């Protein structure tokens, strides 16, 4: 029998290390796999038995002896017995492409990755021209998964075409692939799960991107809040270099791609691509005006592909299975699958990969099974701290980029944060402004100063000070921020504020609250 | 007060290491902080000279990022997640409890030098909130009682 205990952040945070030690004390060396993304079951102990791969969870070190006893007799008699892991409804009903390998084995084991179709996409790409690879990505309909949903193939084409053709007598133009792994939105962990459960998939996608556009250097800009991902990525890159999937003359092809992880330093704004590039250059993470687009003048002034972790991870699937297969998932102009991250006050939180089009209600009610507290859901924030708070009347909106844009909301990076009926939406609106105060890069006045004024105005409204005029002022301030900021930080901070005001006005009318 | 000569000597091997790295300032600052626990003001001239930057530029970068500290911190850093998912599970109450239990506010260090308390905006553990990071370990579903347990383990006086 083979035992598995995950080594991803959430499993570790829930006590996976102690459970692993308890197994070791019983003379069993567990495989430290990645997480399946069913976080409410972590730490999830999996056991390969004659009857298939069965699970127990959430386990603590104290449960190990009784589980071992049950395995000798009748496993299903144990309280924490979950049956066949892959038949758990939460997982079985998903459409996993990017996360197909997540949790199956040791994430940094190269043999395991290759046994599960890993590096097949890279091998296909090595036999193609750059333009052919770019065409595949265009045909797949893949759109950037970071939040802006820009068509990935078009961005790649721009970088491919930039810098003129590499004439024989001329040094080819240096280009870069930059992976945005600064996953700062609250309620998101999809990038982290890829990096911690299947890091080679990202490495493969970046190498393919390098081949496609003619870039020989890649950087993964990783947030410092992810120490586990940092360690695993570095190990994976080291092994990929040793096996010649990265570096000079990849698999004897004559092609080169170097990859390095760079750590951020706790600045949310560095998830904005131009700010990220400044930070990679060793500067303050100040947002740049566009144009020039990073695809033309990006890192160190050179043509650069900046893509999110999930976008790059999807590349290996597209090259391996073909653009058409990928394109067949989804609805309208939103093709492929969406990594939904269910978080906050929710009973069954985790990663849910589905084709676009599922409704918010299906996600929170069927997958999530309601709140963790057992109280009714009051509001749902989709798309991180710059996303709108949605009241129940909007929960039947299908998760599709255009459908969300139509209700002045955004899918963003796919994070869903659930609040129960104890949530104070005026406090949440205030927090949105407060977060902008802390994290604004300071370049644009509406964002830098507007957010400070926003906190003050909301405080006055809640305190019922000159209420009508302050409400007008708040809306005008939101207009100024939306229209006068360079990037989404200042431009979208008003979204949660306005949605809280529009849908939960009663929260702004309480008088004499304790915190005023 | 340490003399700047000592600090320049302390970091010169790091400056040499990152001098030729493209965009090497952030990795260098991480390395200095990893070794000294913070980035002393007195190291700024050596960093600036080594990387061919002005002292103002180096100062500007250090002060921009929340991670870089210019003063010594406690033996342990405890970060409480203040982001929305953790708020939905009671992190506001948790932070109030933590400040009260430790007798310090954010960005402060306990009198015995054991713990520095910091806010953090998302640790990516949002399905099992509220989350706390203690040095490099992230802990899920932390309530007041669990927080006290974790702090007691760090050997802090309560």
Interface contact flag, A385 B61, Cβ < 8 Å: no
- For A384, the closest chain B residue by CA position comes to B84
A401 in the same domain as A493: no
Distance from the B66 Cα atom to the nearest Cα atom in chain A, whole angstroms = 5
Residue in B57, B64, B120 nearest the CB of A285: B64
- For B140, the closest chain A residue by CA position comes to A13
Q: What is the mean pLDDT of residues B131-154?
A: 96
A413 in the same domain as A431: no
Per-residue model confidence (pLDDT) at position A336: 86
B92 in the same domain as B45: no
Q: Which residues contact A395 (CB under 8 A, 6 or more apart)?
A: A359, A360, A361, A364, A380
Residue A343 sits in a domain of what CATH number? 3.10.20.600
Distance CA A8, CA B144 (A): 25
Would residue A101 count as lying in a domain?
no
Give the residue from B39, B64, B89 where a domain finishes.
B64
For residue B22, the chain A residues in CB contact (below 8 A) are: 281, 300
Q: What is the mean pLDDT of chain B?
A: 93
A319 in the same domain as A389: no
Q: How confident is the model at residue B34 (pLDDT cuts 50, 70, 90)?
A: very high
Q: Mind spelling out the 3-state secondary structure of A321-390?
A: HCHHHHHCCEECCEECEEEEEEEECCCCCEEEEEECCCEHHHHHHHHCCCCCCCCCEEEEEECCCCCCEE
For residue A489, the chain B residues in CB contact (below 8 A) are: none
Helices B25-36 and B4-18 cross at an angle (nearest 10°) of 130
ipTM exceeding 0.85? Answer: yes
The parent domain of residue B36 ranges over: 4-64
Residue A461 sits in a domain of what CATH number? 1.20.1440.230
Q: Which residues contact A186 (CB under 8 A, 6 or more apart)?
A: A343, A384, A385, A415, A417, B83, B84, B85, B86, B121, B122, B126
Would residue A275 count as lying in a domain?
yes
Give the residue from A402, A420, A438 where a domain finishes.
A420
Residue in B26, B92, B138 nearest the CB of A265: B26
What is the total count of domains within chain A? 4
Per-residue model confidence (pLDDT) at position B157: 43
Distance from the A407 Cα atom to the nearest Cα atom in chain B, whole angstroms = 21
B54 in the same domain as B97: no
A320 in the same domain as A251: yes
Distance CA B122, CA A225 (A): 8
Residue B96 sits in a domain of what CATH number? 3.40.30.10
Per-residue model confidence (pLDDT) at position A464: 94
Per-residue model confidence (pLDDT) at position B6: 53
A322 in the same domain as A223: yes
Q: Over the stretch A105-123, which tens digit does the pLDDT of each residue have?
A: 999 999 999 999 999 999 9
Interface contact flag, B126 A385, Cβ < 8 Å: no
Would residue B69 count as lying in a domain?
no
Give the residue from B43, B64, B85 where a domain finishes.
B64
A310 in the same domain as A215: yes
Would residue A515 count as lying in a domain?
no
Would residue B27 count as lying in a domain?
yes
Computed over its alpha carbons, how large is the radius of gyration of chain A? 24
Interface contact flag, B65 A185, Cβ < 8 Å: no
In this complex, how many residue pairs, one in chain A and one in chain B, have their CB atoms less than 8 Å apart?
150
Would residue A132 count as lying in a domain?
yes
Distance from the B59 Cα atom to the nearest Cα atom in chain A, whole angstroms = 10
The whole-model pTM stands at 0.95
The parent domain of residue A278 ranges over: 110-327
Q: Over the stretch A245-282, which tens digit does the pLDDT of each residue have?
A: 999 999 999 999 999 999 999 999 999 999 999 999 99
A166 in the same domain as A75: no
A218 in the same domain as A173: yes
Would residue B71 count as lying in a domain?
no
**Residue B7 reports pLDDT greater than 90:** no
Interface contact flag, A262 B85, Cβ < 8 Å: no
Per-residue model confidence (pLDDT) at position A163: 80
User: Beta-carbon neighbour count of residue A514 at 10 Å?
Assistant: 4
For residue A185, the chain B residues in CB contact (below 8 A) are: 122
Instruction: Compute CA distances A190 → A186, A268, A313, whole Å.
Output: 11, 17, 11
Which one of B127, B147, B149 would you mutate to disrupt binding with A, by most A Cβ within 10 Å of its Cβ?
A: B127
Q: How confident is the model at residue B1 (pLDDT cuts 50, 70, 90)?
A: very low
Please list the ranges in chain A whose pLDDT falls under 70: 164-170, 510-516
Per-residue model confidence (pLDDT) at position B2: 47
Place of tokens 């139509």: A406
């Amino acid at each position: 029998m083979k035992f598995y205990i995950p080594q991803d952040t959430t499993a570790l945070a829930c006590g996976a290390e102690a459970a692993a030690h308890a197994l070791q004390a019983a003379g069993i060396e567990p495989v430290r796999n990645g997480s399946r993304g069913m976080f409410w079951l972590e730490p999830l102990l999996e056991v390969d038995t004659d009857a298939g791969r069965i699970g127990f969870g959430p386990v603590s070190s104290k449960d190990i002896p009784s589980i071992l006893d049950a395995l000798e007799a009748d496993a299903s008699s144990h309280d924490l017995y979950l049956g066949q892991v892959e038949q758990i409804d939460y997982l079985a009903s998903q459409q996993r492409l990017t996360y197909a390998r997540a949790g199956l084995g040791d994430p940094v084991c190269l043999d395991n990755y290759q046994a599960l179709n890993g590096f097949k996409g890279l091998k296909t790409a090595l036999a193609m021209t750059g333009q052919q690879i770019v065409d595949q990505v265009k045909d797949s309909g893949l759109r950037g998964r970071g939040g802006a949903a820009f068509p990935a193939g078009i961005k790649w084409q721009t970088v491919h075409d930039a810098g003129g053709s590499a004439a024989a007598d001329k040094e080819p133009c240096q280009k870069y692939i930059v992976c945005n792994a600064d996953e700062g939105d609250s309620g998101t962990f999809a990038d982290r799960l890829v990096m911690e459960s299947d890091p080679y998939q990202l490495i493969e996608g970046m190498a393919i991107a390098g081949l496609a556009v003619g870039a020989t250097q890649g950087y993964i800009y990783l947030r410092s809040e992810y120490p586990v991902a940092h360690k695993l990525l570095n190990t994976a890159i080291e092994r990929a270099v040793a096996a010649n999937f990265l570096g000079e003359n990849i698999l004897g092809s004559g092609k080169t791609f170097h990859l390095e992880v760079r750590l951020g330093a706790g600045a949310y704004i560095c998830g904005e691509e131009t700010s990220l590039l400044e930070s990679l250059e060793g500067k303050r993470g100040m947002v740049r005006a566009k144009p020039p687009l990073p695809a033309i003048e990006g890192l160190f002034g050179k043509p650069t592909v900046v893509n999110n972790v999930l976008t790059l991870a999807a590349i290996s699937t597209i090259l391996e299975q073909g653009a058409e297969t990928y394109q067949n998932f989804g609805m309208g102009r939103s093709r492929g699958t969406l990594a939904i991250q269910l978080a906050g006050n929710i009973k069954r939180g985790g990663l849910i990969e589905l084709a676009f089009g599922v409704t918010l209600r299906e996600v929170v009610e069927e997958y999530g099974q309601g709140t963790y507290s057992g109280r009714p859901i009051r509001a749902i924030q989709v798309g991180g701290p710059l996303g709108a708070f949605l009241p129940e009347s909007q929960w039947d909106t299908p998760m599709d980029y255009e459908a969300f844009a139509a209700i002045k909301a955004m899918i963003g990076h796919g994070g869903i944060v659930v609040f129960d009926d104890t949530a104070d939406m005026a406090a949440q609106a205030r927090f949105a402004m407060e977060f902008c105060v802390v994290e604004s890069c300071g370049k644009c006045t509406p964002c830098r100063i507007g957010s400070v004024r926003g906190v003050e105005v909301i405080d006055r409204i809640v305190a019922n000070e000159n209420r009508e005029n302050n409400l007008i002022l708040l809306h005008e301030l939101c207009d100024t921020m939306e229209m006068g900021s360079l990037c989404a930080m200042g431009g979208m901070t008003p979204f949660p504020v306005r949605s809280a005001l529009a849908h939960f006005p009663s929260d702004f009318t309480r008088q004499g609250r304790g915190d005023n | 007060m340490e003399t700047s000569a000592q600090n320049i000597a302390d970091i010169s091997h790091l400056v040499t290491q990152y001098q030729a790295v493209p965009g090497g300032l952030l990795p260098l600052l991480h390395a200095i902080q990893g070794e000294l626990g913070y980035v002393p003001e007195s190291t700024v001239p050596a960093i600036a000279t080594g990387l061919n930057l002005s002292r103002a530029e180096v100062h500007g970068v250090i002060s921009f990022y929340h991670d870089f500290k210019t003063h010594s911190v406690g033996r342990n850093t405890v970060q409480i997640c203040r982001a929305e998912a953790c708020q939905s599970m009671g992190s506001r109450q948790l932070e109030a409890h933590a400040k009260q239990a430790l007798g310090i506010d954010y960005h402060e260090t306990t009198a015995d030098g054991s713990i520095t308390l910091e806010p953090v905006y998302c640790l990516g553990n949002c399905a099992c909130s509220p989350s706390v990071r203690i040095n490099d370990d992230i802990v899920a579903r932390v309530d007041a009682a669990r927080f006290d347990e974790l702090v007691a383990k760090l050997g802090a006086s309560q």
